[in-house]
């Protein structure tokens, strides 16, 4: 278990949060045009106004379902494909150009192509999968490759069963790499997924609501939806990393 944070540490974190709230408030006062830059208070008021509405929760659940589905599909496919590519060199070489393409092509290009080919309903699912998959794939390759060669050779000499080798040698080597990749991929999946929704505007999505806020020039509501995405992303990240921590023990 992680040690509990000391009161001093919590107080320091509160001061840092207050500092950035002050910067936000000062910037809004400097601009002096709420339609261009909403204040923290206006943002909170907009969020309080949204919270009791049915559309808010339908949009939150819709985006969460799509982005979480895309992430977990990428996690499973990335691990399976990475393990297969680690085992078979030819597969690794065949996949190399595709993975390079997935890493280098701008996200906007993927969004537009997927929108043309498949429509907007599952756009966030596919975009999140495409963004996360390379990170999990390469983490799996690196993690499996970091297993102690001497222990692997020893296991081979003594004919240790394959399942035991996987669980006791490969799994501990893989897990730190996988956890690190997930820590990066979780935030990226939300950024890319919501960006895809803003462009495709599927029904019952945060992206659709952000687009409508932009159309109606309601900056406070736009900030409120942005704050919602930040909170959801943080909760999702903590939950997934906690599950990975449990699974890695």
User: Do residue 17 and residue 47 come from a single domain?
Assistant: no
Q: Which pLDDT does position 221 carry in this prediction?
A: 94
User: Do residue 69 and residue 5 come from a single domain?
Assistant: no
Q: Which pLDDT does position 249 carry in this prediction?
A: 66
Q: Which pLDDT does position 3 carry in this prediction?
A: 52
User: Do residue 100 and residue 208 come from a single domain?
Assistant: yes
Count of domains in the chain?
2
User: Do residue 13 and residue 97 come from a single domain?
Assistant: no
Report, as ranges of residue numbers, the positions in the chain whose pLDDT lies below 50. 1
User: Do residue 101 and residue 27 come from a single domain?
Assistant: no
Instruction: Give the CA radius of gyration of the chain.
Output: 22
Range of the domain at 221: 38-247
User: Do residue 144 and residue 86 come from a single domain?
Assistant: yes
User: Do residue 5 and residue 67 come from a single domain?
Assistant: no
Q: Is residue 6 classed exposed, middle or buried when 0-12, 13-18 and 19+ CB atoms within 10 A define those classes?
A: exposed
User: Do residue 79 and residue 198 come from a single domain?
Assistant: yes
Q: Is residue 44 classed exposed, middle or buried when 0-12, 13-18 and 19+ CB atoms within 10 A define those classes?
A: middle
User: Do residue 21 and residue 130 come from a single domain?
Assistant: no
User: Do residue 23 and residue 125 come from a single domain?
Assistant: no
With contact defined as beta carbons under 8 Å apart, do 104 and 124 qualify?
Answer: no
User: Do residue 24 and residue 48 come from a single domain?
Assistant: no
User: Do residue 14 and residue 85 come from a single domain?
Assistant: no
User: How close are the terminal C-alpha atoms of the chain, in Å?
Assistant: 12
Residue 153: CATH number of its domain = 1.10.3720.10
Distance CA 88, CA 126 (A): 26
């Amino acid at each position: 278990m992680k040690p509990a944070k000391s009161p001093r540490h919590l107080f320091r974190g509160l001061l840092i949060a207050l500092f950035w709230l002050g910067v936000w408030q000062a910037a809004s006062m400097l601009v002096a045009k709420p339609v261009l830059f909403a204040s923290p208070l206006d943002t909170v008021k907009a969020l309080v106004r949204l919270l009791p509405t049915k559309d808010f929760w339908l949009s939150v659940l819709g985006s969460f379902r799509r982005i979480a589905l895309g992430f977990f599909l990428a996690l499973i496919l990335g691990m399976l494909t990475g393990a297969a590519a680690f085992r078979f060199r030819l597969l690794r070489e065949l996949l190399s150009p595709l993975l390079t393409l997935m890493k280098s092509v701008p996200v906007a290009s993927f969004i537009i192509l997927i929108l043309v080919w498949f429509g907007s309903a599952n756009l966030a699912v596919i975009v999140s999968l495409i963004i996360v998959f390379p990170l999990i794939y390469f983490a799996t390759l690196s993690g499996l490759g970091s297993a102690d060669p001497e222990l692997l050779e020893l296991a081979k000499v003594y004919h240790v069963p394959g399942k035991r080798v996987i669980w006791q040698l490969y799994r501990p080597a893989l897990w730190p790499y996988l956890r690190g990749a997930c820590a990066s991929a979780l935030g990226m999946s939300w950024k890319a997924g919501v960006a895809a929704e803003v462009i495709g505007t599927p029904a019952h999505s945060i992206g659709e609501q952000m687009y409508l806020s932009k159309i109606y020039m309601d900056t406070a509501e736009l900030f409120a939806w942005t704050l919602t995405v930040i909170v959801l992303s943080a909760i999702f990240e903590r939950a997934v990393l906690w599950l990975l921590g449990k699974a890695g023990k």
